[in-house]
Amino acid sequence: MAYDFDLFVIGGGSAGVRCARIAAGHGARVGVAEERFWGGTCVNVGCVPKKIMVNAAEYGLWAGDAAAFGWDIENRGHDWAKLAAARDAEVARLSGIYDKLLKGAGATSFNARATFIDAHTLQVGDQRVTAERIVIATGGTAQRLDIPGAELGCISDDLFTMKALPKRVAVLGSGYIAVEFACLLRGLGAEVDLVYRAPMPLRGFDEDIRTALTEALTAQGIRLNPDVSPTRITRADDELLLGLSTNFVREVDAVFFCTGRLPNTQGLNLDAADVATKPNGAVVVDEHHATSQPHIFAIGDVIDRVNLTPMATAVGHALADTLFGGRPRQASYENVPTAVFTSPPIGTVGLTEAEAAKRGKVDIYLTRFTPMRHTISKREGRKTVMKLVVDQASQKIVGAHMLGEDAAEIMQGIGIAVVMGATKQDFDRTIGIHPTAAEEFVTLRTRAREAG
C-alpha cells in the first residue's frame, strides 16, 4: 500500500521535532502535527522560560552581594512586566525556529491535533493522512491533586501567563518543578511556603544533596512544610486559603500544584490503533521504543521514563537514524546528567550513595565549603557541597553530585568523564583549574566514609 508519509510524528516538542527533522534529512517523507505550540513544553512552558526567570531571580541576589565587592547599587525593585516581555519574545523566537527547522528539513508541518483512526491512519485537523510508521511524541501535562478547590490552584504553565508576581505563594510538592519554582519566586520577592509530604525535598536525589538543599531553602527564607499534605483550597475575598493536613491554614495569593505530570495520551484514540498504555496513560514501549504495534513508536515524556529534554532529543534522533538512516542505535538511559535550577543549583550524574551501596562497597568523597564569592559577600546559606561515589572494587566514579554555584555547568563535563568510565585515579591525575569550585572534584583526597 502507498502511504501519504513514510513517517508521521504526533507532537512538535523536543522529541518529535528532532525525530522528524532527522528522518526528513535521511530522505523520508515526514509529516508532523502540533496542536498547541512548536517546541513543546521545554521551549514554551518549561526549561526555557523557567531558566530566564531563574536568571532574573539570580540578578536580584547578585545586586544584593555587589556592595561587598565595592559597588554602590540601589535596587529599586523588580519589573515583572519587563521580564515577562523579554521572556515571551525569546520563547516566540525559539518556537519559530523549531517550525522553521522542520520546514527547512523538508518535513510537512500541520498546526492541528492528530488522532488515530486505525493503526496507519490519522485524522489531522480536517485532513485524513496515512503513514507507514507513526511516532507518538505528545509529552505530558502538569496535574493538580484531587482535593476540594483544586481548580483555584495553578499549574506550572500558569506562571508564564501571570501578570504580576503573586506576593504570597504556596508551592505544593518537592520535585524538580516545586523546588525550582519556590526558589525563583522567592528570588523575585515572594513569600513562599513549600508544602510536601516527604521529610525532605527531592526524593530520589542523594541524601547529602537533599540535606544541603533543605538548608539552602531555609536560608533564603522559604518556609518549609515537610510531612504535610494539602487538604483543600477555598477563596476568601481576594486571597486563597490553603488547608493543610496539620490543620493549619495558609493565606496566600497563589497555590502552585507541582505534584507531577501525566503523559498526554487522552484523546489520541489509541484504542483504534491497538496501542497499549500503562494505568497512568504512559505508552508502553520496548527497548527500541516500539509500542504494542511494531510500526508505531513512542518517545519523550509520553513514555514517562526519563522526562528530560536532552533525553527526548537523543532518543528521537536515534530512532530516526535507526528507521531511516541505516544506522541502528539507541540512546542510553544510564548516567544521564541532570540539573535542578534551585538557588544554588544542583547538578548530578550517576548513582546516589544509597543506590550505589545496594550494588556493592563504595568509597564516598565529600566536601563542603563556602565558595570564594560568598566568603566576600558573607551571604548566608550558600555553602557548596560536592560528592563523589566511587565503586570500591573498580575505583570507577559511579556517581557525582553537587549543590552550589554553577553546579549545572560543572556537571556537564563531569558527566562526560562518568559516561566514559573514569576512575577516581583519573580524576586525581587531572590538574585543577584554580581558583574555581570545580577543581574540588579533582582534589578530593580523603575518603569521608565507606558504604555498602
Distance CA 242, CA 233 (A): 5
From the list 104, 230, 88, the residue with the least C-alpha distance to 160 is 88
Of residues 335 and 377, the one with the C-beta less far from ligand NDP: 335
256 contacts ligand NDP (rule: CB under 6 A): no
What is the DSSP secondary structure assignment for residue 273, as one 8-state letter?
A: G
From the list 35, 3, 21, 14, the residue with the least C-alpha distance to 295 is 3
Q: How many of the chain's residues bind ligand NDP (CB under 6 A)?
A: 23
**Which pairs from 237-245 meet CB under 8 Å and 24+ separation?**
239/168, 240/152, 240/153, 242/170, 242/193, 242/195, 244/195
Edge-to-edge order in the sheet of strand 249-252:
230-236, 239-244, 249-252
145 contacts ligand NDP (rule: CB under 6 A): yes
160 contacts ligand NDP (rule: CB under 6 A): no
CB 195 within 8 A of CB 169: no
434 is catalytic: yes
Of residues 258 and 418, the one with the C-beta less far from ligand NDP: 258
155 contacts ligand NDP (rule: CB under 6 A): no
84 contacts ligand NDP (rule: CB under 6 A): no
366 contacts ligand NDP (rule: CB under 6 A): no
113 contacts ligand NDP (rule: CB under 6 A): no
For ligand NDP, which residue of 56, 129, 134, 258 counts as binding (CB under 6 A)?
Answer: 258
196 contacts ligand NDP (rule: CB under 6 A): yes
CB 321 within 8 A of CB 36: no
Q: Grid coordinates in use for 327?
A: 544506522
Q: How far is the CB of 261 from ligand NDP (least distance, A)?
A: 5
What is the DSSP secondary structure assignment for residue 277, as one 8-state letter?
A: B
Distance CA 232, CA 242 (A): 6
For ligand NDP, which residue of 218, 269, 338, 392 counts as binding (CB under 6 A)?
Answer: 338
174 contacts ligand NDP (rule: CB under 6 A): yes
Q: How far is the CB of 187 from ligand NDP (least distance, A)?
A: 16
Residue type, 127: Q
177 contacts ligand NDP (rule: CB under 6 A): yes
What is the phi/psi pair of residue 379, to 5°?
-65, 135
Piece in contact with ligand NDP (CB under 6 A), picked from 170-178, 282-290, 352-360, 436-444: 170-178
Distance CA 448, CA 278 (A): 42
For ligand NDP, which residue of 9, 129, 190, 340 counts as binding (CB under 6 A)?
Answer: 340
Piece in contact with ligand NDP (CB under 6 A), picked from 84-92, 124-132, 191-199, 352-360: 191-199
The crossing angle, in degrees rounded to 10, of helices 176-187 and 207-219 is 20
365 contacts ligand NDP (rule: CB under 6 A): no
The 10 Å Cβ neighbour count of residue 264 is: 24
For ligand NDP, which residue of 198, 200, 244, 422 counts as binding (CB under 6 A)?
Answer: 198
Q: What are the residue numbers of the active site?
A: 434
Binding residues for ligand NDP, rule: CB under 6 A, are 145, 173-178, 180, 196-198, 203, 229, 258-261, 307-308, 338-341
